[in-house]
A and B are shown apart, each in its own frame.
Chain A
Amino acid sequence: MVRLWFDRGTILLKGEVGTPYGKWDPRVGCYRAKAMHYGDILAYLEESQIPIQDEVKQLPPLETLKSTVQLRPYQKEALNKWRGAQMRGILVLPTAAGKTYIALEAISFLRTQTLIVVPTLDLIDQWRSRVKECLGVDAGAVGGGESSVRMVTVATYDSAYLQAELLGSKFIFIIFDEVHHLASPSYMQIAEMYIAPYRMGLTATYERLDERHTLLPQLVGDPVYSVDVGELTGKHLSSYTYEKLYVELAPKEQRAYENEMAVFRNYLGEKRIVLKSAKDFQRFIMITGRDRRAREALLARNRALKIALNSEEKVNLLAHQLEEHKKEKTLIFTLHNDLVYAISRRFLIPAITYQTPKEERRHILENFRKGEYRTIVTSQVLDEGIDVPDASVGYILSGTGSTREYIQRLGRLLRKFEGKQARLVEIVSKETVEVKISRRRSQKKGEEKPSRAPQ
């Protein structure tokens, strides 16, 4: 007889036998295994005909689901591929291709205790309302001060990580929304410390620059279905155009910019430091922790970038654009919170940053959906997956040059709205480093030429 129970993110086995998944733990005098091997251990013990006393699961009660989900053909195909892979695996679909519906249909098919892990608090709200709408039950939530566990529960990556000891034994099915997050060293422990044998990962951007996505198959399963923007655009998603508008810095800004950049370049030249890759830059940041002059150089560069990013001329150009496209639903993105609030103050439009209270954020998004508000200015918090159903214009006023950010921001605009093409406009200062960042951003994804998106 083997007794199994859950101990804070791991499984303890007491009995005469071990399993290939356990390891003797001298601290407690038992075999201990990662919780993720729960299914494997059960299968192994059953195959070996070893009687067990299983006290691992601590599941919330089941509720009756009433599914109203209707899948499109490619969504059905994706779901079937996943089912064919023993209910494990990753689905790679562009933003707005309806990943949520595939996941909801999977829940309705399995009818078991399910945890949905999402990157942001906004997404908790969004998933909850979808669960209510499509499955007819209230979902529990863990994160942002809330903590209620139900048959279907939504949690942020942070909470799922921090509370793994508590939540790890409560679900049979786990869904990772934006699964590329899971590959980070701390978040991957979520996959390890939860018992759920059935797993699904959803993402638009499977690959990570740091190559860590290669860890995902052992945690969630292999990528079982993949379709990219090109295949779906026009048919299921609206197409978009991309344009870039240049502004010149005001003479005073230009002078200040050049002075600051000179300080930075002189330092690099003197120390023969070449900054080509992200890694180079990381190393440079490390130096600034020790070397005062390096830090001064970095600060000068940051001030220069800030001048370029926050240029008065850009905001003026934005004013023209807003005036011209008054009727359209518009999102304005910028990296710096200062600029978000400056724009909000100037145009008297709602702003969303990490500082915005949750209730106010919900209110703003809801009014935007209803069309009461037509413009929002925001920093990065809306970056992933948040539904803003019918925004038709987007402006980027600054950015970091990362590929994912670019695609996700783009994705937010890819909503079919009265058959109309969406526009993405990037406003860039001429002849500054920023041009380089922007160029890098659009070059990374081959098929998205800076002029026109695929139809």
Chain B
Amino acid sequence: MLPSSLLTVWKRKGIIWPRYAKFSNDDLEVAKVLIEAYKRGLGEKKSVLKEFVGELEDSGYDYHFVRGLSFLLDRRSVFKCNVKANPSDLRRKLFQATGELGPATTPEMRKRIIERVASELKIPTGMIEELLYADLDSELMMEKFDPLPPQELLEKYNLSLTQTLLFDSTELKFTASANWQKIFFAVKSLGLIYDAFKDGRLWVKIDGPASLFKLSRRYGTAMAKLLPAIIANSEWTVEAKILWKYTNEICDFKIESWKHRALLGSYKSPISYDSVVEQDFAARFQALNSEWRLKREPEPVLAGKKVIIPDFAFEREGAKLYMEIVGFWTVDYLLRKIEKLKNAEATILVAVDETLACERLSNLGKHTRLNIIYYRNRIPLAPVLRYLRDASREANLKQTGFLKNLPVVFTEPYVEFEEFAARIGVSAQAVRATLTEKPPDNYIVLPKGLIRKDRLEQIKKRIDEQIGRSGGLPLLEAAGITEREGVDVTSAIEALGYKIVWHGINTEKAEVVKPQKSN
């Protein structure tokens, strides 16, 4: 973040945009020259360095830019007062003397005062001049400098510029692809209020308590501090309302990862800091090879205008369940959590560590019937699987109920269960169950789908024609006929009541025959 006097922007038709450093040769050159100057500055006075910065400003570069880079480099430097004696003590002695003898209005008087103090402190008079204000900011010596590549300096500059612009924001809206836990933790600890809603993606709108009454820049600094957590992601969008103080107008600012990631540098997603409990659970669950897919750090779940950030999502067709792991807790906290969970748009299991409880579990009373799983050290799989099984069953039930009343009229000659299930977004199992139980008129149920009766008749006719000539039909030829209609041969043969006669294991020698009619 930079002092707001160094913020430089362009503004047109209500849109505001910082004048970012470009990665052109020119800008890279300035960055390089400055970094070199700071490297050379080791052991020099700060004023020497600043003089150079001033010269660079005056030689045709934008002073906002030059000073901004210098500001960032200052923060990577350590300046120290590099003298043996304490200048502040010296000043006391000196001013004491002046207090007695009067101000040094003549060179003679000045000499007299200095000599007196010098002899008192047993130091040479020249040293007094040197020491007198050696602790002023401009007199400090550079002791350390942590260099960085020019490209990286420009990226940091651009990020700082963005944050400085956000100082003046009254409201901020964002989406992100991950990192939610960290983001919401930051939102909370920065004293902000959020409002979550779905518009394709999950959007979060941020402002503060007093924003309700009037537009206020009060929370701008907090929003600026939030930015790094948001952009430490593969995908993000940030939109802000900026109250531009010079004209008092509201401007829009929008920055998106797909367009602008390079400007702010390639922020690597921070490694997720899963706890041992989480890692252990994930490993054991995955070893089960369950039909449920386990997802780590899923997107937050909306609960009214608030969100819940689960640790895991369990997914299968038509069903999704979440689990949040709670470490330290009090009954009060858990009750509040449960209250929030009531509004959640999905089922969330809460795994609660018994050993870390601050209060006795019995205090929770009748609430224990909620989706709470207690654990010690590791989360037990059995109760989780029980919830998942119930969820599967419930999902199937729900889906079959839904399918029974589905206003669909089938006209296609062949309906494959899986394909149809995917098309309407339910599980194939449920489709199969519903359609097998009560097949639509004019259709016959095959193991993998439905076939229209007239189409089956057509297949029968063709096969019969072929069999008619030879008494049996090679399976491969029969397959040619059925597959042309999109139906697998074994299903069709079975539906027709025909048989396959195998001669050994060779498919090429298998034949389809009509069953002998019994007399």
Asked if B208 is at the interface of the complex by the 8 Å CB criterion, the answer is: yes
**Contacting residues, chain B, for A295 (C-beta < 8 A):** 63
Flag if A367 contacts B133 (CB, 8 Å). Answer: no
Cα separation A344 to B113 with both chains bound (whole Å): 13
**Contacting residues, chain A, for B88 (C-beta < 8 A):** 357, 360
Known: A165-B191, A186-B217, A348-B94. Is A372-B64 also a contact (CB below 8 A)? no
Contact of B193 among A28, A319, A341 (CB under 8 A): A28
Closest to B213 in A: A34
**Contacting residues, chain B, for A286 (C-beta < 8 A):** 246
Q: How far is the CB of B131 from chain A (nearest CB, A)?
A: 12
Closest to A10 in B: B209
**Contacting residues, chain B, for A26 (C-beta < 8 A):** 195, 305
Q: How far is the CB of B482 from chain A (nearest CB, A)?
A: 61
Q: How far is the CB of A4 from chain B (nearest CB, A)?
A: 14
Task: Tell me which residues from 46 to 102 in chain B have a Cβ below 8 Å from any Cβ of chain A.
Answer: 58, 60, 63-64, 88, 91-92, 94-99, 102
Asked if A3 is at the interface of the complex by the 8 Å CB criterion, the answer is: no
Flag if A192 contacts B210 (CB, 8 Å). Answer: yes
Contact of B137 among A346, A355, A374 (CB under 8 A): A355
Known: A8-B191, A189-B216, A193-B210. Is A348-B103 also a contact (CB below 8 A)? yes
Flag if B209 contacts A289 (CB, 8 Å). Answer: no
Known: A189-B216, A348-B94. Is A27-B103 also a contact (CB below 8 A)? no
Q: How far is the CB of A347 from chain B (nearest CB, A)?
A: 4
Closest to B208 in A: A8
Closest to B216 in A: A189
**Contacting residues, chain A, for B91 (C-beta < 8 A):** 350, 360
Flag if A9 contacts B137 (CB, 8 Å). Answer: no
Known: A8-B191, A357-B88, A372-B96. Is A348-B210 also a contact (CB below 8 A)? no
Flag if A27 contacts B305 (CB, 8 Å). Answer: yes
Task: Tell me which residues from 168 to 196 in chain B have a Cβ below 8 Å from any Cβ of chain A.
Answer: 191, 193-195
**Contacting residues, chain B, for A34 (C-beta < 8 A):** 210, 213
Asked if B148 is at the interface of the complex by the 8 Å CB criterion, the answer is: no
**Contacting residues, chain B, for A27 (C-beta < 8 A):** 193-195, 212, 305
Flag if A348 contacts B8 (CB, 8 Å). Answer: no
Flag if B209 contacts A8 (CB, 8 Å). Answer: yes
Flag if B99 contacts A374 (CB, 8 Å). Answer: yes
Task: Tell me which residues from 275 to 315 in chain A have a Cβ below 8 Å from any Cβ of chain B.
Answer: 286, 289, 292, 295, 299
**Contacting residues, chain B, for A165 (C-beta < 8 A):** 191, 209
Contact of A345 among B99, B133, B246 (CB under 8 A): B133
Task: Tell me which residues from 159 to 183 in chain A have a Cβ below 8 Å from any Cβ of chain B.
Answer: 165
**Which of A193, A323, A341, A348 has the most B CB atoms < 10 Å from its CB?**
A348
Contact of B212 among A25, A289, A363, A373 (CB under 8 A): A25
Cα separation A360 to B92 with both chains bound (whole Å): 9
Known: A289-B8, A341-B133. Is A347-B210 also a contact (CB below 8 A)? no
Cα separation A94 to B29 with both chains bound (whole Å): 57
Flag if B103 contacts A375 (CB, 8 Å). Answer: yes
Asked if B389 is at the interface of the complex by the 8 Å CB criterion, the answer is: no
Closest to A321 in B: B105
Cα separation A355 to B96 with both chains bound (whole Å): 21
Binary B-proximity of A360-395 (CB < 8 A = 1, otherwise 0): 100110010000111100000000000000000000
Binary B-proximity of A313-334 (CB < 8 A = 1, otherwise 0): 0000001101100100000000
**Contacting residues, chain A, for B32 (C-beta < 8 A):** none
Task: Tell me which residues from 119 to 141 in chain B have a Cβ below 8 Å from any Cβ of chain A.
Answer: 129, 132-133, 136-137
Known: A8-B208, A10-B209, A27-B193. Is A367-B99 also a contact (CB below 8 A)? yes
Task: Tell me which residues from 203 to 239 in chain B have a Cβ below 8 Å from any Cβ of chain A.
Answer: 208-210, 212-213, 216-218
Asked if A420 is at the interface of the complex by the 8 Å CB criterion, the answer is: no
**Contacting residues, chain B, for A345 (C-beta < 8 A):** 129, 132-133
Flag if A348 contacts B98 (CB, 8 Å). Answer: yes
Known: A349-B98, A360-B88, A373-B95. Is A322-B210 also a contact (CB below 8 A)? no
Cα separation A255 to B341 with both chains bound (whole Å): 78
Q: How far is the CB of A138 from chain B (nearest CB, A)?
A: 27
Asked if B104 is at the interface of the complex by the 8 Å CB criterion, the answer is: yes
In the complex, how many residues of chain B place their beta carbon closer than 8 angstroms to a beta carbon of chain A? 41
**Contacting residues, chain B, for A373 (C-beta < 8 A):** 95, 98-99
Q: How far is the CB of A264 from chain B (nearest CB, A)?
A: 16
Q: How far is the CB of A356 from chain B (nearest CB, A)?
A: 10
Asked if A7 is at the interface of the complex by the 8 Å CB criterion, the answer is: yes
Flag if A347 contacts B103 (CB, 8 Å). Answer: yes
Asked if A415 is at the interface of the complex by the 8 Å CB criterion, the answer is: no
Flag if A23 contacts B133 (CB, 8 Å). Answer: no
Contact of B210 among A10, A346, A349, A374 (CB under 8 A): A10
Cα separation A8 to B208 with both chains bound (whole Å): 9
Flag if B218 contacts A323 (CB, 8 Å). Answer: no
Flag if B98 contacts A347 (CB, 8 Å). Answer: yes
Q: How far is the CB of B173 from chain A (nearest CB, A)?
A: 14
Asked if A404 is at the interface of the complex by the 8 Å CB criterion, the answer is: no
Cα separation A353 to B216 with both chains bound (whole Å): 32
Asked if A423 is at the interface of the complex by the 8 Å CB criterion, the answer is: no
**Contacting residues, chain A, for B218 (C-beta < 8 A):** 186, 189
**Contacting residues, chain B, for A292 (C-beta < 8 A):** 60
Closest to A288 in B: B63
**Contacting residues, chain A, for B137 (C-beta < 8 A):** 355
Asked if A441 is at the interface of the complex by the 8 Å CB criterion, the answer is: no
Q: How far is the CB of B343 from chain A (nearest CB, A)?
A: 11
Asked if B142 is at the interface of the complex by the 8 Å CB criterion, the answer is: no
Flag if B64 contacts A289 (CB, 8 Å). Answer: yes
Asked if B110 is at the interface of the complex by the 8 Å CB criterion, the answer is: yes
Asked if A409 is at the interface of the complex by the 8 Å CB criterion, the answer is: no
Task: Tell me which residues from 407 to 432 in chain A have a Cβ below 8 Å from any Cβ of chain B.
Answer: none
Flag if B103 contacts A322 (CB, 8 Å). Answer: yes
Flag if B209 contacts A7 (CB, 8 Å). Answer: yes
Asked if A128 is at the interface of the complex by the 8 Å CB criterion, the answer is: no
Contact of B104 among A8, A25, A299, A346 (CB under 8 A): A346
Cα separation A192 to B113 with both chains bound (whole Å): 54
Closest to B137 in A: A355
Flag if B195 contacts A189 (CB, 8 Å). Answer: no
Asked if A199 is at the interface of the complex by the 8 Å CB criterion, the answer is: no
Asked if B114 is at the interface of the complex by the 8 Å CB criterion, the answer is: yes
**Contacting residues, chain A, for B212 (C-beta < 8 A):** 10, 23, 25, 27, 32
Binary A-proximity of B286-305 (CB < 8 A = 1, otherwise 0): 00000000000000000001
**Contacting residues, chain A, for B103 (C-beta < 8 A):** 322-323, 326, 347-349, 374-375
Task: Tell me which residues from 438 to 495 in chain B have a Cβ below 8 Å from any Cβ of chain A.
Answer: none
Q: How far is the CB of A334 from chain B (nearest CB, A)?
A: 15
Cα separation A192 to B216 with both chains bound (whole Å): 12
Closest to A24 in B: B212
Cα separation A34 to B218 with both chains bound (whole Å): 14
**Contacting residues, chain B, for A186 (C-beta < 8 A):** 217-218
Q: How far is the CB of A357 from chain B (nearest CB, A)?
A: 7
Flag if B110 contacts A348 (CB, 8 Å). Answer: yes
Q: How far is the CB of A336 from chain B (nearest CB, A)?
A: 13
Q: How far is the CB of A402 from chain B (nearest CB, A)?
A: 20
Closest to B88 in A: A360
**Contacting residues, chain A, for B97 (C-beta < 8 A):** 348
Flag if A348 contacts B114 (CB, 8 Å). Answer: yes
Task: Tell me which residues from 346 to 394 in chain B have a Cβ below 8 Å from any Cβ of chain A.
Answer: none
**Contacting residues, chain A, for B194 (C-beta < 8 A):** 27
Identify 28 residue pairs between A and B in the complex whose beta-carbon atoms are under 8 Å apart, listed by A's number: A7-B209, A10-B213, A25-B212, A27-B305, A189-B210, A189-B218, A192-B210, A286-B246, A289-B64, A292-B60, A319-B105, A320-B105, A323-B103, A323-B105, A345-B132, A346-B104, A347-B104, A347-B105, A347-B110, A348-B94, A348-B103, A348-B104, A348-B114, A349-B98, A367-B95, A367-B99, A372-B96, A373-B95
Q: Add 5 more A-B contacts to A347-B98, A347-B103, A348-B113 (CB < 8 A).
A: A10-B212, A32-B212, A326-B102, A348-B98, A374-B103
User: Which B residues are within 8 Å of any A CB, using their own CB?
Assistant: 8, 58, 60, 63-64, 88, 91-92, 94-99, 102-106, 110, 113-114, 129, 132-133, 136-137, 191, 193-195, 208-210, 212-213, 216-218, 246, 305
Closest 4 CB pairs of A and B: A347-B103, A323-B105, A319-B105, A348-B104
